[in-house]
Amino acid sequence: MTPLFPARFLAVGLCLFVAALLFNWAVARLAEHFAPPQGQFIEVDGLRLHYVDTGAKPGQAGPPLLFLHGLMGQLGHFDYRLASLFPERRVILLDRLGSGYSQAAKSQGLKAQAELVADFLAALQAPRPLVVGHSFGGAVALNLALDHPDSLCGLALLAPLTHQVDTPPSVFANLARDSAFGRWLFAWTLAPLNAIMRAEATGRIVFGPDSAPADFWNKGGGILALRPGNFITGSREMIALPSEMPLLERRYPSLAAKTFILFAKGDRVLDPNVQGPNLRDRAPNAELTLVEGGHMLPLTHPELTAAFIRTALVKSGCGGLL
Spatial separation of the C-alpha atoms in residues 88 and 160, rounded to whole Å: 26
Give the domain range for residue 216. 35-315
Q: Stretch 54-81: mean pLDDT, rounded? A: 89
Spatial separation of the C-alpha atoms in residues 68 and 285, rounded to whole Å: 21
| Domain CATH number, residue 133 | 3.40.50.1820
In a domain, 42, yes or no: yes
Specify the pLDDT at position 5.
56
In a domain, 185, yes or no: yes
Residue percentage of the chain with pLDDT more than 90: 73
Specify the pLDDT at position 14.
74
In a domain, 15, yes or no: no
CA distance between the termini of the chain = 80
The larger pLDDT score, comparing residue 232 to residue 23, is at 232
Residue 172 has pLDDT above 70, yes or no: yes
8 A C-beta contact, residue 152 and residue 144: yes
Question: pLDDT digits over 73-125, tens only?
Answer: 999 999 999 999 999 899 999 999 999 999 998 888 899 999 999 999 999 99
Q: Model confidence at 42, in pLDDT bands (50, 70, 90)?
A: very high
In a domain, 8, yes or no: no
Spatial separation of the C-alpha atoms in residues 242 and 76, rounded to whole Å: 28
Question: Within 13 Å, how many C-alpha atoms sit on residue 206's CB side?
Answer: 21
In a domain, 90, yes or no: yes
Alpha-helix runs per DSSP H in the chain: 4-34, 76-79, 110-124, 136-147, 180-189, 191-197, 199-206, 216-219, 228-250, 275-282, 297-300, 302-315
Q: Model confidence at 9, in pLDDT bands (50, 70, 90)?
A: low
Q: Supply angle C-alpha 47, 22, 10, rounded to 5.
A: 120
Amino acid making up residue 249: E
Q: How many CB atoms lie within 10 A of CB 148?
A: 16
Q: Stretch 282-300: mean pLDDT, rounded? A: 96
Specify the pLDDT at position 84.
94
pLDDT, the chain, mean: 91
In the chain, the number of structural domains is 1
